[in-house]
Structure 1
């Protein structure tokens, strides 16, 4: 976490004001306005501020590294208390040695040490408050990026995934079925309407229950099953608890569309598609598997694709669950498996 130039400017101004205030408060104690007394008081306050600035720089480095590890509050407070206690002793001792005050440890040492410790306590409280504010700003920025990506993903889904080619093929299939099998044609129209109703749903929520997306996926797959008949065999294995987990919308659909496309294009016979979702401990695991071969985007192949959908899935996972997710693609025993896992927090599991 970068503190920025503003933080260091405030540091310099703060310690300068601290030194000036200390000098002004010492003026009544300078006998008869003696010049030597003024110079000595000014030198003492200046050196005290410079040493305080140096100590605050040390504390900034130590507390920043500690804060980055997200320790419990009690651990943070304990370490901070020990650090500022030791540095208060060093601050006072260095100041007295610099002005030739001996011994360093005198009867009033405890009282003076308490005053210096209070300054560092106040400084550390302000610093930790500032760090907490930075965390909130970063979290807010991350939330705004995730919301922007979610909105963009809906449009990308319409532009790249639910593209005119898919709609054209679906309408052609419906037209072919209208006279021969009107019942199946009506079913296909219903599934198409349900799918687009979900895709065009405007909501203020950043995420949706997985069950809602899977219902849209079922509509999409039913359309494809009617189109390709025996060539496409679909099965679902979804735990009820997994359906309640909230995820960014249209996170699973690109994986399903990719599986259908690659499965049909890389396999001549029937294609099996399996969708599994389960919560194991506090981790949601989702797998979309299809028979066929995996073809890298851009590789010479009859499969038409740019990898946009998968790249979008990776990007959205990174922003929605930073450091708490895994996503992978692999091919084994004639199956291509796209799997993702997300460590659930209270928000996602609610």
Structure 2
């Protein structure tokens, strides 16, 4: 266990508080004493705390060494009892010798030894509590790091799942357009490059402005409109302030891809797609809706009160990433409403984003 600067600061302040407390407790016996008497008591209490500080520093190294070896609780308790008694005797002998206020061996020696031993035992108990807290903090940090890495892995897996599939379809369309319509082929290549610039470079950051992701979504949809022509109609309704909000990268694109893929598969006629984003109070709401109806798969879907939950890996990924980025501050649902399929997510923003 590493004894950092915070520990030594608390150690010093604790023994200073101990000296002050000992002096305050001595005040009733000093009512009739003069300045010299007060000064002598202050000096005695100061020496007492300094020696206690030195002894506890040695105990800190001893018990940190023991703690790193993960002993059983009874071993730590036994080590505390065995070490505290002789160290309390050393504390008392050194203090009496340094101040010369009383003989080292005096009638109240056993009583004083017990008092000093209790102080050291209390210090050992506090130190072990501190060590346990440090271990809990380290374990919590490891758990959060593991959760973050797992979330990052799921995101990378989603990117690798989306990009090759989309690239394959886009390249096939470009190939078909090269001879038929070179201008549209060039436009499609430009939009494809813009989409992958966001996908491969900008989303390396943990969070990205919503506006950046929507620009990549526009490139994606521009390619799809070239592929499907009049079968796909797209409308954006995005508030300017909403574009400034930072969200985990690649959070909206799976909703748009699902809407296009499942919407076109389910309909023989044209598909209308709407993307809306707005600030609502101190939060953000994004909705991706498309004409059509939900056709949940019995294998991976559950219907609850008219809503369909958990349709597909991409939506499960979105739920997990929202739970990680906005724990207890998000809502996500997929529902059918009057001939439209609506995927809606809303998040409550932190103060620095909500301002």
TM-score scaled by length of structure 1: 0.63
For 2:329, the equivalent position in structure 1 comes to: 324
Q: How does 1:157-176 map to 2 (within 5 A)?
A: 157-158=159-160, 160-164=161-165, 166-176=166-176
Q: Does 1:191 align with 2:257?
A: no
Cα offset, 1:177, TM superposition: 2.4
Map Cα deviations across residues 228-282 of structure 1 (whole Å, 9 max, x no partner).
2222111111111111111111011111111112211223322221111111221
Structure-2 separation of matches of 1:38 and 1:249: 70
Q: Does 1:225 align with 2:235?
A: no
Map Cα deviations across residues 197-244 of structure 1 (whole Å, 9 max, x no partner).
221116663211111111111111111122122221111111111111
Q: Give the secondary structure class of the aligned counterpart of 1:295.
A: coil
For 1:102, the equivalent position in structure 2 comes to: none
Contact 1:174 1:188 in 2 (8 A): yes
Map Cα deviations across residues 93-147 of structure 1 (whole Å, 9 max, x no partner).
xxxxxxxxxxxxxxxxxxxxxxxxxxxxxx69x9799869966984686367436
Cα offset, 1:26, TM superposition: 3.7
For 2:265, the equivalent position in structure 1 comes to: 265
Change (3 A) 1:300 1:253: closer
Contact 2:92 2:116 in 1 (8 A): no
Structure-2 separation of matches of 1:143 and 1:236: 37
Map Cα deviations across residues 58-102 of structure 1 (whole Å, 9 max, x no partner).
xxxxxxxxxxxxxxxxxxxxxxxxxxxxxxxxxxxxxxxxxxxxx
For 1:313, the equivalent position in structure 2 comes to: 318
* Greater RCO (CA < 8 Å, at least 6 residues apart): 1
- RMSD, matched Cα: 4.2
Structure-2 separation of matches of 1:244 and 1:311: 25
Q: How does 1:30-49 map to 2 (within 5 A)?
A: 33=105, 39-44=110-115
Map Cα deviations across residues 158-205 of structure 1 (whole Å, 9 max, x no partner).
2x22233x3332222222223333222222221112112221116663
Structure-1 separation of matches of 2:283 and 2:85: 54
Structure-1 separation of matches of 2:85 and 2:287: 63
Structure-2 separation of matches of 1:143 and 1:273: 38
For 2:249, the equivalent position in structure 1 comes to: 249
For 2:148, the equivalent position in structure 1 comes to: 146
Structure-2 separation of matches of 1:300 and 1:148: 22
Change (3 A) 1:39 1:308: same
The structure that has the greater radius of gyration is 2
TM-score scaled by length of structure 2: 0.62
Structure-2 separation of matches of 1:128 and 1:287: 48
**Number of residue equivalences:** 272
